[in-house]
């Protein structure tokens, strides 16, 4: 790569003037080390650093040099990674699985190409690379987030491309734990991967489980060390000054002051404790009184009145002097008649009726067949409007809303016949729930709920038995 001598390969020439000779010392940078490995060893390069900003800087520099496309003055020839090259730059993440990583790599290299994301990268990329003559370079940042499977597929890709004399290079940038993972599985990466330190450019063997370099030891920057030292010195000086102050007469008086204050405030503290005890005692007595009151109320609870009792209470004349006669609305009368009929309790008083006779008389006036025709749709739902144990109340309710599309069926509840009024059958729960807004206001104020058509069919079949 041409001006890798200026950007990638930092060739530092130090000339030492001696009396008889001069020597030249050359130091190769990290990017030059990467280029050297890709050119001569044809292996995957893993660049590691303890801090993210370290290897990210090297990755950016490598990507810039890769796009420059100049010759390498240090080597004297054109670098393979600086030819007309197809480059993919991917940032790995633990949120991405193997299939998503394969898709991102292949889509960057070969747009609008068909591939199987479940196949290995070595198979997919080599097949697609035969259709073009460009060299391929893959750069993966945060490679420690890659799975061991994807790392192995990339190393296998480079190894097979080397045998087939194809220009495919892979450079990964990661934290040291990626090198440790490779060290634990060194058998599958043998002669396929090289580890480079992102700070010094040193080579490390995959057999090492932990990298030991100066960069990992220097976990604090110089300015951070200075701030920490100043803070430590300040704390020591304050502690020493406080110690000598307490040794003086003023300091001893300061130490004795809290004791005197405690003696003065002892009466206030005792009074506070007494007040708190009284408050707790009052709260306890209040709770006991509430319990007794609730017990008396519960003991006086009577059995709920049924529809007949409410009807009698409404129509019974009251002896009120100077009473004013007002006509009740039909909705008000019906609401009073149906107080005990409203769901979800669906409780009615047992009545001595002949179920067989009621079935024979009422089943023909209901919409049983309508529900049965909708039984094939398991997602169908209805909105249950009301329930009645008295057929007259049921008919009065339907008469109030002649324009509404209501349907009815019967079931057995507490050994009694119970007539249920529902909406039409909707194809799903969402449509049924949305239809509630279209009902008249008196109906929407009732306790409506959704019921699957399968439940309705079960109740109908149970009633027929």
CA distance 36 to 8: 11
Name the more confident of 24 and 96.
96
How do residues 27-55 score in pLDDT, each as one tens digit? 568 888 998 888 888 899 999 999 999 99
CA distance 188 to 181: 11
Q: Which residue ranges form the domains of the chain, and what is each CATH number? A: 2-213 (3.40.50.300), 330-464 (3.30.70.1070)
Confidence of residue 140 (pLDDT cuts 50, 70, 90): very high
Cα 238 from chain centre: 48
Q: What is the pLDDT of residue 90?
A: 93
The DSSP bridge partners found for residue 82 are: none
For the chain, give the number of residues.
465
> Quick check: 3 pLDDT over 90?
no
How do residues 369-406 score in pLDDT, each as one tens digit? 888 888 778 889 999 988 888 888 889 888 888 888 89
Which ranges of 265-390 does DSSP label H, i.e. alpha helix?
Answer: 266-299, 307-315, 330-337, 355-362, 368-373
Tell me which of 71-80, 123-132, 382-391 is least confident.
71-80
Q: What is the pLDDT of residue 98?
A: 92
Q: Is 55 exposed, middle or buried (0-12, 13-18, 19+ CB in 10 A)?
A: buried
Q: 3-class SS at 51?
A: coil
> Quick check: 430 pLDDT over 60?
yes
Q: What is the pLDDT of residue 277?
A: 64
DSSP character string of 369-433: HHHHHTTT-TT-EEEEEEEESSHHHHHHHHHH-TTS--EEEEEEETTEEEEEEE-PPBSSHHHHH
Mean pLDDT of the chain: 74
The phi and psi torsions of 349 (rounded to 5 degrees) equal -70, 135
CA distance 183 to 208: 6
> Quick check: 137 pLDDT over 60?
yes
> Quick check: 80 pLDDT over 60?
no
Tell me which of 108-117, 289-298, 343-352, 440-449 is least confident.
343-352
How do residues 147-173 score in pLDDT, each as one tens digit? 999 999 999 999 998 888 888 999 999
> Quick check: 213 pLDDT over 70?
no
């Amino acid at each position: 790569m041409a001006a890798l001598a200026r950007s990638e390969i930092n060739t530092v020439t130090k000339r030492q003037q001696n009396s008889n000779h001069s020597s030249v010392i050359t130091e190769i940078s990290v990017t030059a080390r990467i280029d050297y490995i890709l050119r001569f060893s044809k292996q995957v390069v893993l660049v590691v650093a303890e801090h993210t900003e370290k290897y990210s800087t090297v990755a950016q520099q490598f990507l810039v040099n890769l796009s420059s496309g100049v010759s390498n003055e240090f080597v004297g020839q054109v670098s393979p990674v600086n030819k007309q090259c197809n480059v993919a730059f991917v940032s790995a993440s633990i949120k991405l699985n193997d299939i998503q990583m394969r898709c991102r790599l292949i889509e960057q290299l070969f747009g609008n190409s068909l591939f199987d994301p479940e196949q290995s990268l070595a198979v997919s990329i080599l097949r697609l690379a035969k259709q073009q003559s460009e060299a391929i370079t893959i750069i993966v940042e945060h490679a420690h987030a890659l799975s061991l499977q994807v790392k192995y597929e990339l190393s296998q890709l480079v190894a097979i491309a080397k045998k087939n004399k194809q220009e495919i290079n892979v450079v990964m940038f990661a934290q040291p734990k990626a090198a440790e993972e490779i060290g634990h599985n060194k058998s599958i990466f043998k002669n396929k991967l090289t580890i480079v330190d992102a700070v010094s450019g040193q080579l490390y063997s995959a057999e090492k489980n932990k990298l030991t370099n100066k960069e990992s030891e220097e976990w604090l920057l110089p300015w951070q060390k200075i701030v920490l030292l100043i803070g430590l010195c300040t704390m020591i000086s304050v502690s020493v000054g406080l110690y000598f102050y307490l040794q003086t007469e003023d300091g001893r008086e300061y130490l004795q002051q809290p004791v005197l204050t405690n003696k003065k405030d002892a009466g206030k503290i005792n009074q506070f404790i007494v007040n708190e005890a009284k408050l707790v005692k009052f709260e306890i007595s209040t709770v006991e009184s509430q319990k007794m009151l609730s017990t008396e109320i519960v003991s006086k609870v009577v059995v709920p009145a049924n529809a007949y009792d409410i009807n009698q209470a409404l129509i019974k004349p009251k002896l009120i002097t100077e009473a004013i006669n007002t006509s009740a609305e039909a909705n008000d009368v019906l609401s009073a008649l149906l107080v005990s009929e409203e769901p979800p309790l669906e409780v009615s008083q047992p009545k001595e009726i002949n179920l067989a006779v009621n079935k024979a008389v009422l089943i023909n006036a209901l919409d049983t067949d309508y529900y049965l025709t909708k039984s094939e749709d398991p997602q169908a739902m209805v909105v249950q409007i009301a329930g009645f144990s008295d057929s007259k109340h049921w008919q009065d309710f339907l008469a109030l809303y002649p324009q509404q599309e209501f349907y009815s069926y019967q079931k057995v509840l507490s050994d009694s016949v119970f007539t249920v009024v529902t909406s039409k059958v909707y194809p799903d729960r969402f449509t049924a729930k949305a239809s509630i807004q279209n009902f008249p206001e008196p109906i929407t104020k009732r306790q409506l709920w959704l019921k699957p058509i399968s439940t309705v069919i079960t109740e109908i079949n149970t009633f027929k038995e």
